[in-house]
């Protein structure tokens, strides 16, 4: 049983099916990324999970099968649209949201200052939110969502429309929160963010789950080839024997050898195989070939998404 359990979730708006039978389990301690283009159903799914949107069918439960009504104080929600009061100072904003969870007096002050310090806004705590840059407002938005030390932090596109420096600061904060013990559910349409911070990925499009698991799990389910490039700088008489021996390895799907300016390169396409490099070195030695370079590549998340959906990840609205 995960910290969040979403089963067969469905949500429609008139004739539009925004969420179409989504099932996701978020395990404690994960940074679980929901990746998909704008319009894929990410924010609607988050709205249903947090109880902000009613859903048509399916279920959402938390630890020990608890409904959201009994578990919601354990959730920190950082929405895509800023949920801060522009005429209040940073300190007043964070203090207000913290007070909603019953904190008072010295404990309220301590938690407020800790949250502001965590996002790097303690020194400007008395400035009005309206005076902040876009990146600072995003960090204040985060402080308001995490001030009560929730077990689960749900972040819906928290880096939309901000500069690279502020984005990097937020991503570092996400990793720090996770290191402190928080489980993170993170939606985005930015590939690099998922690759940098998430240890579990759910890819959705048109309201449906296309794939879920670690990047390696998804690669294995897809049967997507990995690539190993082997370069030889001396000797060519053994290339035919090398190619034949490599082709006979069960995990190898194909290999191509090309030669230019007395340098031969063999591209080996294969499925997961922990012993392949060792076998390649042995086969090269058996055929009296000298390896000058050997490297292994995996498909990028962009390539995985293209394979799964047949299109590039849309970045616009």
pLDDT band at 163 (very low <50, low <70, confident <90, very high): confident
Threshold 0.85, pTM exceeds: no
Dist CA 163 CA 159 (whole Å): 9
How much is the pLDDT for 88? 97
- For 14, what's the count of Cα atoms within 13 Å in the CB-facing half-sphere? 1
Among 7-21, 59-73, 208-222, the least confident range: 208-222
pLDDT one-digit tens code per residue, 274-300: 788 899 999 999 988 888 998 877 666
**Average of pLDDT values for 62-78?**
87
Q: At residue 308, does pLDDT exceed 90?
A: no
pLDDT one-digit tens code per residue, 139-150: 999 999 999 999
Mean pLDDT of the chain: 87
Could you confirm whether domain 4-220 is CATH 3.40.50.300? yes
What is the residue extent of each domain of the chain?
Answer: 4-220, 225-298
**Average of pLDDT values for 247-272?**
85
Collapsing DSSP to helix, strand or coil, 142 comes out as: helix
Written as one string, the DSSP assignment of 264-302 is EEEEEEES--TTHHHHHHHHHHHTT-EEEEEEEE---HH
CATH match for 225-298 among 3.30.70.260, 3.30.360.10, 2.60.40.3880, 3.40.50.12780: 3.30.70.260
How much is the pLDDT for 258? 86
């Amino acid at each position: 049983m995960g910290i969040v359990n979403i089963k067969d979730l469905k949500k429609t708006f008139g004739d539009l099916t925004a969420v179409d039978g989504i099932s996701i389990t978020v395990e404690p301690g994960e940074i679980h990324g929901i990746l998909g283009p704008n319009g894929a159903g990410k924010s609607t799914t988050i709205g249903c999970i947090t109880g902000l949107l009613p859903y048509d069918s399916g279920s959402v439960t938390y630890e020990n099968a608890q409904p959201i009504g009994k578990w919601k104080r354990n959730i920190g929600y950082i929405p895509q649209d800023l949920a801060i009061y522009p005429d209040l100072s940073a300190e007043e904003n964070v203090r207000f949201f913290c007070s909603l969870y019953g904190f008072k007096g010295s404990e309220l002050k301590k938690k407020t200052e800790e949250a502001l310090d965590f996002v790097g806004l303690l020194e400007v705590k008395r400035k009005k939110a309206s005076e902040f840059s876009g990146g600072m407002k995003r960090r204040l938005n985060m402080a308001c969502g995490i001030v009560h030390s929730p077990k689960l932090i749900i972040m819906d596109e928290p880096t939309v429309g901000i500069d690279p420096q502020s984005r990097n600061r937020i991503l570092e904060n996400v990793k720090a929160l996770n290191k402190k013990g928080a489980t993170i559910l993170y939606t985005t349409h930015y590939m690099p963010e998922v690759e940098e911070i998430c240890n579990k990925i759910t890819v959705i499009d048109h309201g449906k789950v296309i794939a879920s698991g670690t990047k390696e799990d998804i690669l294995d389910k897809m049967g997507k080839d990995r690539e190993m490039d082997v370069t030889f700088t001396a000797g060519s008489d053994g290339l035919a024997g090398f190619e034949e021996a490599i082709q006979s390895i069960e995990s190898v799907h194909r290999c191509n050898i090309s030669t230019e300016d007395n340098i031969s390169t063999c591209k080996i396409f294969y499925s997961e195989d922990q012993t392949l490099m060792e076998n390649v070195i042995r086969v090269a030695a058996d055929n009296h070939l000298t390896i000058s370079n050997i490297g292994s590549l995996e498909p990028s998340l962009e390539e995985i998404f293209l394979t799964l959906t047949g299109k590039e990840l849309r970045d616009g609205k």
